[in-house]
Amino acid sequence: MTDLPTSRVRPADIGDVEAVFELAADMAVSFTVEPAAFRRSFAAVLSATDAHVLVIDVDGQVGGYLLGFEHPAFFANGPVAWVEEIAVHESLRRRNLGSRLMAAFEDGVRGRGGRLVALATTRADSFYEAIGYDRHATYFRKIL
């Protein structure tokens, strides 16, 4: 499928809280997304200078979102970025919306002098490979 002609990527605002909550709740597999905790986190992320929430509007509705962070790193000789979450509504997948969210995040990171964008995933490997990402490291975690 192709991109939707009436879609655009933009920074999220507080009015997107419910739509992003629904997408995050559908995407989450390790945790249950709790509404009150989500709302607190959403507001905090919107005001953080190192955090970026992008949404893609499709016909006036949020069709997907990306949450990413930037920070300085010694190994990369400059800032690096991490995609923490990306989700596209199931009915809108395979229409380049995820690719556009990733490209917009990459463009912003590049424009701010970033050297690398990375992420961890347990699914959608072929999507990330198709947009130029390569498998590089093993991901470890410890739930607290």
Q: What is the pLDDT of residues 56-106, one digit of tens each?
A: 999 999 999 999 999 999 999 999 999 999 999 999 998 999 999 999 999
The distance in angstroms from the start CA to the end CA of the chain is 41
Rounded Cα gap, residues 139 and 132, in angstroms:
19
Q: At what angle do helices 17-27 and 35-47 cross, to 10 degrees?
A: 120
Mean pLDDT of the chain, nearest integer: 91
Q: Which residue has the higher pLDDT, 58 or 120?
A: 58
Model pLDDT, residue 42:
97
Model pLDDT, residue 3:
54
Model pLDDT, residue 31:
80
Q: Phi then psi for 54, rounded to 5 degrees?
A: -110, 145
Has this prediction a pTM greater than 0.95? no
Q: Is the pLDDT of residue 1 over 70?
A: no
Rounded Cα gap, residues 27 and 124, in angstroms:
12
Model pLDDT, residue 125:
81
The answer to whether 85 touches 65, Cβ cutoff 8 Å, is yes
Q: What is the mean pLDDT of residues 126-143?
A: 82
Q: What is the mean pLDDT of residues 33-57?
A: 96
Q: What is the mean pLDDT of residues 14-39?
A: 92
| Closest of 31, 39, 27 to residue 89, by C-alpha | 27
Supply 22's token pair.
Answer: 């629904």
Model pLDDT, residue 83:
96
